[in-house]
């Protein structure tokens, strides 16, 4: 199976994905927030917040894993993407680290299917054209040494994000 068979881009709501794990674009506290983070906490129920309180937060670029509670997904992998500061503050490497750390947790927990949101492209202001290339490249590189993950979805909440991520997937995997 090649990366193109494994990675897909869909327009939809990440909390509805029937995968082993969904990724939460969280803040450093992991205690909920707006956007994807708020939607995941609301859908998972109060037990998710209780478990997140035991984790002690998460650094930018890091990742932590919890149970999925009331979500269709068994796991939630929380990652903190970088806030866009113009592109000269290490944002690219921090975003790649977010994706890589999520994938590494997936490997540790023997996760076969997972769904990512467009990390950092909402309130954190990361340009989606740039973020999509980092996401697809990091996932493609990881898959070269992983044979367990067979379904990775890049779930885009808007048509605009869907177009950016689809374009990146076609350009990078089509190479």
Spatial CB neighbours of 19, under 8 Å, sequence gap ≥ 6: 72, 73, 113, 114, 115, 151, 153
Is 2 a residue whose pLDDT tops 60? no
In the three-class reduction of DSSP (H, G, I as helix; E, B as strand; rest coil), residue 152 is classed as strand
What is the pLDDT averaged over residues 133-149?
Answer: 95
3-173 is classed CATH 3.40.220.10: yes
**Section 135-160 average pLDDT:** 96
pLDDT of residue 1: 39
What mean pLDDT, rounded, does the chain reach? 95
Q: How far is Cα 27 from Cα 48, in angstroms, rounded to an integer?
A: 14
Closest-CA residue to 18 (of 79, 77, 68, 80): 68
Instruction: Provide DSSP, 7-27.
Output: EEEEES-GGG--SSEEEEE--
Q: How does residue 118 score in pLDDT terms, banded at 50, 70 and 90?
A: very high
Q: What is the band of 12 on the pLDDT scale with cuts at 50, 70, 90? A: very high
Residue 67 has pLDDT above 80, yes or no: yes
Q: What is the biggest distance separating any 2 CA atoms in the chain, rounded to whole angstroms? A: 44
The answer to whether residue 37 is catalytic is yes
Boundaries of every domain in the chain: 3-173
**Mean pLDDT to the nearest integer, 13-40:** 96
* Catalytic entry in 20, 37, 129, 141: 37
Give the mean pLDDT of 102-119.
98
Instruction: Determine the pLDDT at residue 137.
Output: 98
Name the nearest CA neighbour of 124 among 49, 13, 30, 33.
Answer: 33
């Amino acid at each position: 199976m090649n990366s193109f068979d494994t990675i897909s881009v869909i327009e939809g709501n990440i909390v509805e994905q029937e995968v082993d794990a969904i990724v939460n674009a969280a803040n450093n506290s992991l205690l909920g927030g707006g956007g994807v983070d708020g939607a995941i906490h609301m859908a998972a129920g109060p037990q998710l917040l209780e478990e997140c309180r035991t984790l002690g937060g998460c650094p930018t670029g890091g990742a932590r894993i919890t149970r999925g509670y009331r979500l269709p997904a068994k796991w939630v992998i929380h990652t903190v993407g970088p806030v866009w500061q113009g592109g000269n503050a290490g944002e690219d490497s921090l975003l790649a680290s977010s994706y890589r750390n999520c994938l590494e947790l997936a490997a540790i927990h023997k996760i076969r299917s997972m769904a990512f949101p467009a990390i950092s492209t909402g309130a954190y202001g990361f340009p989606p054209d740039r973020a999509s290339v980092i996401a697809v490249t990091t996932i493609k590189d990881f898959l070269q040494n992983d044979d367990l993950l067979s379904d990775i979805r890049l779930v885009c909440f808007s048509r605009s994000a869907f177009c950016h991520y689809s374009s990146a997937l076609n350009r990078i995997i089509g190479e």
